Structure 1
Amino acid sequence: MKKLLLASTLAVVLSQTLFAKEEVIAPEQSRFESLSKLTKVIGTVEKYYVDDIKLQEIVDKSLKGLMQELDAHSSYLDKKASKEMNVQTQGEFGGLGITVGMRDGALTVISPIDDTPAFKAGIKPLDIILKIDETSSINMTLDEAVNLMRGKPKTNIVLTIVRKGETKPLEVKIQRDIIKIQSVFAKTIEKEDLLYLRVASFDANVTEDLEKIINENKDKKGFILDLRNNPGGLLSQAIGVVDLFVDKGIIVSQKGRNAEDEEKFEASSSNTRTKLPLVVLVNEGSASASEIVSGSLQDHKRAIVVGEKTFGKGSVQAVLPIDNERTENIKLTIAKYYLPSGRTIQAVGVTPDVIASAGKVTQAEDNAFKIKEADLKKHLESELEKVSDVKKEAKTLENETKKVINSEDVLEDNQLNTSIAILKSLIIMNK
């Protein structure tokens, strides 16, 4: 009986050991079968496809399809695309000045870049691009779209777009040009001790440029940081910008596939340059790094965020080489961003503390029956002309220097006007 029991025990142990080995072997076997399937399909296409297509081209198409199926931001960069990416990161290239992404399967404008052909032509965030010239954007990859929109300066292109609020598609003719990006500039708001800071994109010098401007304007009472239509850029610069205003705590964290892959980025008091009141402007064209900055400052109660809900791109992409020469790469989504409160940006965006619509400031037309000096007979016309001339000269000078935002400019921008009012309130409360 004891021998029988011992034999049964050994049989169970042996069975469990073999089963464990099968568990180890099965994933490897499944992996081999999957790779064999891929090789067989590629071989079949090479042998039987109606057109003579070379193996390298089949592999490239396979890689493009794979990356496209993963998510809207992952992509395969062949030699040409890798070269163009390097050109773009240098800050000067031929094209339209437009940042695009995939949203619900549609080629969508994230934002036009300031003072570029796309910006001047009236392209807006969330415009859906149906056609690029005569080519439909349906089933088009991001890289294909970008390649079609870029080209030699002074050549024309027509984008057919769908815009919210319009009853039919719009055709927008744009002339390509050399795209030079000025990422940071500042203006004083007329008659106010306030400084307007504009960040158009997060390139490698943004934190340094902003720090310099802040140090040169210590006499100001508050700041407005405009991140509208800012499509993002380098994570390191987003962290650096927040660190200029926040002296402690988590700025942002990113989590990969595994929980242990979480990486946290914290503020340092040694990097903080100002504690003055701050208002941040955002809109639907604010994405990625812009959302990290605005959302982090919002979570830290360091700034009031004004404008419209942001785009909602909260994923991290890394460019990884697939050859020794780094002439071919893949752009792969490796993690997601999380704000200090733990909330995600991806597909959600940042909701402003104060919602303000774009457009002009609405003013009551109550001046129709008011009599002014200029309406009276025998008013001092010569003096009035002198005043007008002085105003014209001042306006011309201001337009040339572009260092001052006057009251007329503010009335043209409802979101900026709202921001100024809020910033003034914060200054009063902090006294």
Structure 2
Amino acid sequence: MQRVKRFFLLTTGVTIAILAVMASMQFVKRTVTRSDQDYLNLFRQVIGTVDKSYVEKVEPKKLMQSAITGMLASLDPHSAYLPPEPFKEMNIQMSGSFGGLGIEITMKDGKLTVVSPIEDTPAFRAGIKPNDHIAKIDDKPTRGLTITEAVNRMRGKQGTKVTLSILREGSPTPLVFPLVRATIQTKSLKFRTLEPGYGLVRISHFQQHTGDEVVAALDKLRGQNDGTLKGLIIDLRNNPGGLLESCTQVAGRFIGDRLDNGLIVSTRGRLPDANQQLTASIGPKEPPYPIVVLINGGTASASEILAGALQDHKRAIVMGTQSFGKGSVQSVITLRDGAGLKLTTALYYTPSGRSIQAKGITPDIVVGNIDLKEAKKQTTPEFHEKDLDGHMIVPEKGDTQPPSPATRPSTPAKPDGELAGDYQLFRALELLRGLDVMAVAPLPRKNDRHNPR
């Protein structure tokens, strides 16, 4: 009898376990197969509950906008809902004129972080640096703010004041920066002759007229050097990107010829129109003088595309440190109420098929920035796209990895004059001088050129 009882208990236990598993499987099945309509009903239920029971009355418009903002923020760091005013300001910024402090910001580990200050702006002149964490805006903590909310707090009328409290790696106490807001007329680029025959073009941002400005700068540099350049440095450090069209115009000045337009970048996405190949346009090209492109952790997006295209086509030597790795394409869609939707729709690939996303461009020659007065490398670490919360990850399969970079000596020869404060620029000019002495140009002959398709 006892044996029967045990058997009964055993079979009963097994039966209960089987029923529990079956119930669990049915629950999982119901959860997985929940329809879109079920989720819409759930959304309405939550909105209705908040509207009815929350401790304070909340405007339905605010609830809806917050829901949209949260939905897009959950996708990746660059997709966003832009209310009418920020959307209008973004369009103005792309034209080269906008109000504010001049800081490109993002979210890193839930913290408001500087990607790069824009040259000749209040933030740049005050000494704000890439990777600075903005802890407070006018004594109000930034934790929990969205990028749009933070931007709205930093914007204001020209001449009004705002104070940023910054946490910086290596600084034991917060750094306080009292700033005055300005209507910022950003300059797309600067140029100058470093020494006879050698020119520098510093592109700080890709705007509507950057392509034309580069052509004009190169013509003026030639005029300053008896009509000929022996070498050129294109400085893309702390360039946060901008308009892709302007980037391809600049690249097209150096890539391609009469027989071959030359691939600059390709994009790949889900929709057919997201899959494109952008090539250099037919037109005047620069002579095959040596070029060095300078990049660092603040080099992002369109500036990475330019560096990658020149590197893949063997048209330039890339020098500096690893770039940021922002290799996603954002399509900007105008909504009915004047707001905008910035949505990631594709990924960028260099001419050889390398993905930029969360990887960046690896320099051919790694040269860190060095404080020549102290003869040591700066200790402030750079951060990149791969450090951002929710960044997109591209599988390694199919990627062509760049060659292993060479590393420059850590103990520099000390330059004189205006190059004394910029070791990377000094080493770039030193390399151009060496190429000139050796009569070596980095552009191969047509039949030898690596011309990926």
Q: TM-score range by the shorter chain?
A: 0.7 to 0.9
Q: Deviation per CA, 1:288-323, whole angstroms, max 9, x where unpaired?
A: 111111122112221111122222211111111221
Determine helix, strand or coil for the equivalent of 2:346: strand
Report the identity percentage: 43
- When the two structures are aligned, how many residues end up with a matched partner? 362
Q: Do the aligned partners of 2:94 and 2:208 also contact (CA within 8 Å) in 1?
A: no
Please name the residue that 2:355 is paired with: 344
Equivalent position to 1:200, from 201, 204, 223: 204
Q: Would the alpha carbon gap of residues 286 and 258 (structure 1) be closer, same or farther in structure 2, given more than 3 Å must change?
A: same
TM-score of the two chains, using structure 2 as the length reference: 0.75
Q: Which residue of 1 aligns with 2:37?
A: 32
Provide the C-alpha distance between the structure 1 equivalents of 2:40 and 2:251, rounded to a whole number of angstroms.
46
When residues 363 and 100 of structure 1 are mapped into structure 2, their CA distance, relative to the original with a 3 A threshold, is: closer
Instruction: Summarize the alignment of residues 114-193 of structure 1 with structure 2, pairs less than 5 Å apart.
Output: 114-190=119-195, 192-193=196-197
- Comparing 249-258 with 409-418, greater Cα deviation is found at 249-258
What's the CA shift string for 1:329-359, capped at 9, x where partnerless?
2111111111122222222222222222324
Structure 1 residues 347-398: Cα deviation after superposition (integer angstroms, max 9, x where no partner): 222222222232454699xxxxxxxxxxxxxxxxxxxxxxxxxxxxxxxxxx
Deviations 1:190-241 (A, max 9, x none): 3x21111111100011111111222341411111111111111001111111
Residue 311 in 1 paired to residue 324 in 2? yes
Deviates more, 1:89-98 or 1:308-317: 89-98
Which SS does the other structure have where 1:62 is aligned? helix
Equivalence map 1:11-410=2 (5 Å): 30-190=35-195, 192-216=196-220, 217=222, 218-247=227-256, 248-257=261-270, 261-268=274-281, 270-323=283-336, 327-361=338-372, 407-410=416-419
Structure number having the greater helix percentage: 1
Q: Secondary structure at the match of 1:273?
A: coil
Equivalent in the alignment of 2:7: none
1:418 maps to 427
- The one-letter code of the counterpart of 2:298 is G
Which amino acid in 2 is paired with 1:425?
Answer: G
Could you tell me how far 1:116 is from its partner in structure 2? 1.0
Report if aligned partners of 2:80, 2:342 keep a CA contact under 8 Å in 1: yes
Deviation at 1:31, TM superposition (A): 1.7
- Which sits farther off after the overlay, 259-268 or 143-152? 259-268
TM-score by length of 1: 0.78
Distance apart, 1:86 and its partner CA: 3.0
Q: Which runs of 5+ in 2 are unaligned?
A: 1-30, 376-414, 441-453
Compute the displacement of 1:56 (Å): 1.9
Alignment correspondent of 1:369: none
Task: Name the CA shift for 1:206/1:122 in 2 (closer, same or farther; >3 Å).
Answer: same
Amino acid at match of 1:414: Y
Deviation at residue 106 of structure 1 after TM alignment: 2.3
Task: Please say which structure displays the higher CA radius of gyration.
Answer: 1
- Where structure 1 has 5 or more consecutive residues not aligned to the other structure, the ranges are 1-25, 365-405
Q: Secondary structure at the match of 1:178?
A: strand
Residues 321, 268 of structure 1: alpha-carbon distance in 2 compared, 3 angstrom cutoff: closer
Aligned to 1:380: none
> What is residue 372 of structure 1 aligned with on the other side?
none
Distance 1:169 1:259 in 2: 49
- What code does the residue aligned with 1:231 have? P
Which stretches of structure 1, 4 residues or more, deviate above 6 A after TM superposition? Answer: 26-29
Residue identity opposite 2:216 in structure 1: K
Distance 1:253 1:128 in 2: 33
More off after superposition, 253-262 vs 169-178: 253-262
Instruction: Find the residue that maps to 1:270 and give its secondary structure.
Output: coil
**Is the CA contact (8 Å cut-off) linking 1:96 and 1:118 kept in structure 2?**
yes
Q: Tell me which amino acid in the other structure corresponds to 2:364.
A: D
SS of 2:35 mapped into structure 1: helix
Q: For structure 1, which segment, 208-217 or 329-338, has the greater mean C-alpha deviation from structure 2 after superposition? A: 208-217
- SS of alignment partner, residue 37 of structure 1: helix
C-alpha deviation, 1:80, in angstroms: 2.3
